[in-house]
């Protein structure tokens, strides 16, 4: 019945969570507003903010869980992929605490953890399970054989889906991170107002850079005709961009499910917080007779609860690391 403290610091959000016997009893995230004015995450500033947030966040998570540090059985921490300086803050803190409390440490793969977020609440997917993992840095179609075995069957050849959302949002003039704002405006817009192109239809890999360029050229032309074009069409623009990104994602997911004969289908990662994608998955699920899985909103974007549940499975399997464990910016799934 392990009690696990989890720490996530791979990018610009610091997370701390506590999981008791597979149940999340505390899950806190401290965001970093500082990057907004730079139009993207500034790694050095992210590391400094993690350093400021990590101790109060862990203290609060332990308090909220109603436990003390001596109740902890192990510490789970994101070891990568992510920004090196940010990862180092979480890993060094976790190592120090594990040594001070004399409890084991478990290094967790961030993208595997996004997938394992499906195992926080019931109902849980059965294996094999097909997961579309869409975040700021990754877009992957993953066949999940069990909680430790992941097989990539398709991925992006250029931009990740979240990156596409953020870059196109920037072209439209929305601040970073643009994904949630596109989602917000899209709710009031017509997804078929503008038809953006559908790139690369063969195989299970994705490509989003052509769409980004198409939106850029489309807007340059429209703004020449009417300088207020974006302002006057913001909701329709966001709805049409969102519809195209999500339909690219769903077409590949559907093809993958059909070719693998899998009907346990989920989405994970920051972009799975997108209301249009969540709704589209349900529609495709009904059409294809899938059992669909979408993590709770707070378990989609970066969070420590997903690191905690991954730690829970590692603990039960006796998968521990030692103090020689180091973070890695890029790790295969």
Tell me the CB-side half-sphere exposure of residue 25, using CA atoms within 13 A. 18
**Rounded CA gap, 135 and 40, in Å?**
15
Stretch that binds Zn ion, among 116-124, 181-189, 236-244, 301-309 (CB under 5 A): 301-309
Task: Using CB under 6 A, pick the residue from 142, 273, 294, 306 that binds ligand KG4.
Answer: 273
Binding string to Zn ion for residues 80 to 119, with x set by CB under 5 A, is what?
Answer: ----------------------------------------
**Rounded CA gap, 70 and 54, in Å?**
19
Contact between 85 and ligand KG4 per CB under 6 A: no
Contact between 163 and Zn ion per CB under 5 A: no
Q: Contacts for 57-62 with beta carbons within 8 Å, 24 or more apart? A: 57/14, 57/15, 57/16, 57/28, 57/30, 58/5, 58/7, 58/16, 58/93, 58/97, 60/16, 60/26, 60/28, 61/5, 61/16, 61/17, 61/18, 61/26, 61/27, 61/28, 61/304, 62/5, 62/18, 62/26
Contacted by 294, from ligand KG4, Zn ion, none: CB < 5 to 8 Å by type: none
The answer to whether 163 and 134 are in contact (CB under 8 A) is no
Residue 100: C-alpha distances to residues 32, 55, 70, 208 (Å):
29, 14, 10, 46
Contact between 272 and Zn ion per CB under 5 A: no
DSSP 3-state of 285: helix
Contact between 137 and ligand KG4 per CB under 6 A: yes
Task: Using CB under 5 A, pick the residue from 135, 156, 240, 303 that binds Zn ion.
Answer: 135
The answer to whether 9 and 78 are in contact (CB under 8 A) is yes
- The sign one gets for the Cα dihedral 47, 51, 56, 61 is positive
Contacted by 183, from ligand KG4, Zn ion, none: CB < 5 to 8 Å by type: ligand KG4
Task: Using CB under 6 A, pick the residue from 119, 129, 150, 165 that binds ligand KG4.
Answer: 165
Contact between 159 and ligand KG4 per CB under 6 A: no
Closest CB 128 distance from ligand KG4, rounded Å: 23
**Burial (CB count within 10 angstroms: exposed 0-12, middle 13-18, buried 19+), residue 251:** middle
Task: Using CB under 5 A, pick the residue from 8, 13, 236, 302 that binds Zn ion.
Answer: 302
Task: Using CB under 6 A, pick the residue from 80, 125, 179, 189 that binds ligand KG4.
Answer: 179
Contact between 271 and ligand KG4 per CB under 6 A: yes
Contact between 154 and ligand KG4 per CB under 6 A: no
Task: Using CB under 6 A, pick the residue from 6, 7, 11, 141 that binds ligand KG4.
Answer: 11
Closest CB 222 distance from Zn ion, rounded Å: 34
Contact between 135 and ligand KG4 per CB under 6 A: yes
Contact between 78 and ligand KG4 per CB under 6 A: no
**Rounded CA gap, 189 and 236, in Å?**
4
Binding site for ligand KG4 (CB under 6 A): 11, 135-137, 162, 165-166, 177-180, 183, 269-271, 273-274, 301-302
Binding site for Zn ion (CB under 5 A): 135, 302
């Amino acid at each position: 019945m392990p009690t696990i403290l989890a720490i996530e610091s791979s990018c610009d959000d610091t997370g701390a969570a506590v999981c008791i016997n597979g149940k999340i009893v505390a899950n806190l995230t401290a965001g970093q507003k500082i990057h907004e004015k730079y139009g993207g995450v500034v790694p050095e500033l992210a590391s400094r903010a993690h350093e400021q947030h990590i101790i109060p966040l862990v203290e609060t998570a332990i308090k909220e869980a109603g436990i003390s540090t001596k109740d902890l059985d192990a510490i789970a921490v994101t070891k990568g992929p992510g920004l090196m300086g940010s990862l180092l803050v979480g890993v060094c803190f976790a190592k120090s605490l594990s040594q001070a409390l004399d409890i084991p440490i478990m290094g967790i793969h961030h993208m595997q953890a996004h997938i394992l977020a499906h195992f926080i609440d019931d109902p849980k997917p059965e294996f094999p399970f097909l997961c579309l993992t869409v975040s700021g840095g990754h877009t992957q179609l993953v066949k999940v054989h069990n909680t430790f075995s992941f097989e990539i069957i398709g991925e992006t050849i250029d931009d990740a889906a979240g990156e596409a959302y953020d870059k196109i949002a920037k072209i439209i003039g929305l601040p970073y991170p643009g994904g949630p704002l596109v989602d917000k405006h899209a709710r009031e817009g017509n997804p078929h107002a503008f038809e953006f192109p559908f790139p690369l239809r063969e195989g299970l890999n994705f490509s989003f850079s052509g769409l980004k360029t198409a939106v850029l050229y489309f807007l340059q032309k429209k703004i020449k005709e009417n300088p207020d074009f974006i302002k006057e069409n913001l909701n329709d623009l966001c709805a049409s961009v969102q519809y195209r990104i999500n339909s690219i994602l769903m077409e590949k997911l559907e093809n993958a499910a059909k070719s693998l004969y899998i009907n346990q289908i989920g989405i994970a990662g920051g972009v799975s917080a997108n209301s249009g994608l969540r709704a589209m998955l349900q529609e495709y699920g009904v059409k294809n007779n899938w059992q669909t899985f979408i993590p709770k909103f707070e378990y989609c974007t970066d969070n420590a609860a997903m690191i905690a549940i991954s730690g829970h499975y590692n603990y039960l399997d006796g998968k521990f690391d030692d103090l020689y464990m180091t973070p890695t910016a890029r790790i295969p799934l």
